[in-house]
Structure 1
Amino acid sequence: MSTRREILQVTLGTSALLAGLRPAAAQSIDQVKIYYGFPAGSGGDGVARRVGEQLAGSAYTRNPAVVENRPGAGGRIALDLLKSSPSDGSVLALAPQGCATIYPHIYTRLSYDPVRDIAPVSTAAIMDFGLAVGPMAPANVKTVKDLLAWFKASPLQASYGSPGAGTAPHFIGALLGMNNGLDMKHVPYRGSIPGITDLVGGQLAAMLTPSGDFIPNHKAGKLRLLATSGKQRSPFTPEVPTFSEQGFPEFVMEEWFGFYAPAKTPSLLVERANQAINRALKEKSLVDSLAVVGLQARGSTPQAMAQSQKAEYERWAPLVKRVGFTADS
């Protein structure tokens, strides 16, 4: 008899607990925080803020999200913070793809595991990379092959900048040199803007970085954008041929910005966040604002983002090994 009574009490208690959880699960979160591991004003920061504003009034959250910039360590600080954040749906992070696909190959002691510690929610925007030259390059350098020919004839000028060591543009430049028998010196910058400033000022021969960052100076004629890395020409610079069109198909590369949640976030909350993000990415005002900085709004399911991350992780493994770069290099 006592056993039956105990079972009944446990059953009733469990039912009451579940009943108490149902209203909470049905409620949207009051406010969401989005970590972004780079400075305010950058292209990815714009993605975080514009999407964050559009999340308000959804089944996911009642108010616009608050973006907290945690720049440093190439975006790793933000993901390390996300790893230890509450898994109640109230915290997300936006990060470029490379934080999960390239960094594991170059950092022997990465502070987060991109599979076990963070969960894909949705991609948000895609970008390609561009190769540009400034006034230091002769006027007849108008294509990638022209640039390589000039570098071979003037080896002391054979250098290129990137937005940072260990980034995709860094590796594109390294592989471009290796594949064509050139020792191209890499000049890492803290982001795109300082490098482009030196490029326009004639202090740097060439620069590889997200192509959208070149657009204002390209349109103004202050630099020459030689190639972009997408599968097709960029809709923002349709006059510029791709690497593939110029005989370099190995440099068909795009990178996305994606939203992540702490790994233990319930699937229901991940799904709500995904739906709210994808709804936001369909807003014309948001799409237009991203286009200004060369970004194409593009959402996904969590599963598709995870598959893309896995494929890119596997793609970059042999490339990083071939270049031979590590964070300790």
Structure 2
Amino acid sequence: MDLDRRQFLVATGGALAASTLPGPASAQNLETARLIVGFPPGGTTDAVARRIADKLRGGYAKVVLVDNRPGAGGRLGVDELRRSPPDGSTLLLTPASIITLYQHIFTKLPYTSDDVSPVSTACVISFAFGVGPAVPASVKNLRDYFAWVKANPGLAGYATPGAGTPPHFLGMLLSKESGVELNHVPYRGSAPGIQDLVGGQIPAMSSPIGDYLPYLASGKLRVLATSGPKRSRFTPDVPTYAEQGFPALQIQEWYGFFLPGKASPEVVNRAAAAVRGAVALPEVTDGLAQLGFDASANSPAELAKAVKSESAAWGPLVKQVGFTPEA
């Protein structure tokens, strides 16, 4: 993913102030709206959805229900949206990779980008490379970690929330760029990987930065690098991958709202205005920060550009690391 495209992705996520969206039309309020989440209750995406859905109630619709459709790494949620009426009563909140990356790693998808209408981003998150008690306290940065792995090749495993996820590609890039062989250990989501990291069953992990935050103060986990264009406000003392000599590992991910592909511009703009209003609320911004996210909303046009740009950028990166697409 080239630098210009990465910077564009980050910039689109921060376009809240520049966006000019129409205000919500209360006369068109829906009785009930569904917010689809392609992951189980209690997960990160679910937590983001519930914080925002709470603020859409009474404005966008009298009732807003979070509808969890877990399975296939988030793909089932997009497929459910694709088959829903385009009247604004069904929205989807999803990490960007489900729309932009998956087309390059799965040979058969039940949807294309034409099956969804971009509404607005909700937030942006960086990824981090962390280590647990299986790695000595003397390992404080990536250089130390590589030296330790070379001396202990049997402990070169690193966890991710799953194969083909952005944290997996960051791990593959880190191994390729450093010349140090790292062994990928995929988990079914972040939670079990983090628990094994804390328990010392796996030495290291590549995962969203929010996964580590509850454990940093106690020293149970240590973050060695973050993936943003600058240091994360959540770990200001931790250098980025780029600062440690790996500029190619500058990757963030936004979470975005989508409507069915045939939704009218009027319906899309109304949803975008409602999402932007909810994301701008201090309690939502603060709630997202607790999860490691930076709140960020933009316009449908800006999100559409981000989808197109990131989709084009992932293809060469998938080939560069030698990832084999799955069926």
Q: TM-score, normalised by structure 1?
A: 0.89
Deviations 1:121-179 (A, max 9, x none): 00001100010011111222110111112222222211110000000000110111111
Counterpart position of 2:131: 133
Counterpart position of 2:40: 39
Counterpart position of 1:147: 145
Measure how far apart 1:325 and its partner are: 2.1
- Conserved? CA contact 2:162–2:168, under 8 Å: yes
For the residues of structure 1 that align with 2:204 and 2:246, how far apart are their CA atoms? Answer: 17
- Conserved? CA contact 1:53–1:64, under 8 Å: no
Counterpart position of 1:306: 304
- Conserved? CA contact 1:121–1:302, under 8 Å: yes
Counterpart position of 1:4: none
Question: Greater shift after overlay, 118-127 or 143-152?
Answer: 143-152
Q: What is the CA RMSD across the aligned residues, in angstroms?
A: 1.6
Measure how far apart 1:316 and its partner are: 1.3
Q: Structure 1: 5+ residue runs without aligned partners?
A: 1-23
Question: Greater shift after overlay, 318-327 or 165-174?
Answer: 318-327
Measure how far apart 1:183 and its partner are: 2.3
Residue 160 of structure 2 is aligned to residue 157 of structure 1: no
Counterpart position of 1:57: 58
The letter of the residue matching 2:100 is T
The letter of the residue matching 1:103 is Y
For the residues of structure 2 that align with 1:250 and 1:71, how far apart are their CA atoms? Answer: 31
The letter of the residue matching 1:201 is G
Q: Structure 2: 5+ residue runs without aligned partners?
A: 1-24
For the residues of structure 2 that align with 1:52 and 1:25, how far apart are their CA atoms? Answer: 17
Larger radius of gyration: 1
Q: Percent identity?
A: 49
Measure how far apart 1:324 and its partner are: 2.4
For the residues of structure 2 that align with 1:92 and 1:27, how far apart are their CA atoms? Answer: 16
Counterpart position of 1:230: 228
Counterpart position of 1:17: none
Q: Which secondary structure state, in structure 1, belongs to the residue aligned with residue 134 of structure 2?
A: coil
Measure how far apart 1:311 and its partner are: 1.4
Residue 274 of structure 2 is aligned to residue 276 of structure 1: yes
The letter of the residue matching 1:80 is D
Matching of residues 60-75 of structure 1 within 5 Å: 61-75=60-74
For the residues of structure 2 that align with 1:62 and 1:41, how far apart are their CA atoms? Answer: 23
Matching of residues 100-139 of structure 1 within 5 Å: 100-114=99-113, 116-139=114-137
Measure how far apart 1:188 and its partner are: 0.4
Q: Which consecutive segments of 4 or more residues in structure 1 shift more than 4 A?
A: none
Evaluate the alpha carbon distance shift between residue 64 and residue 54 of structure 1 in structure 2; reply closer, same or farther with a 3 A threshold.
Answer: farther
Number of aligned residue pairs: give it: 303
Higher relative contact order (CA 8 A, sep 6+): 2
Counterpart position of 1:242: 240
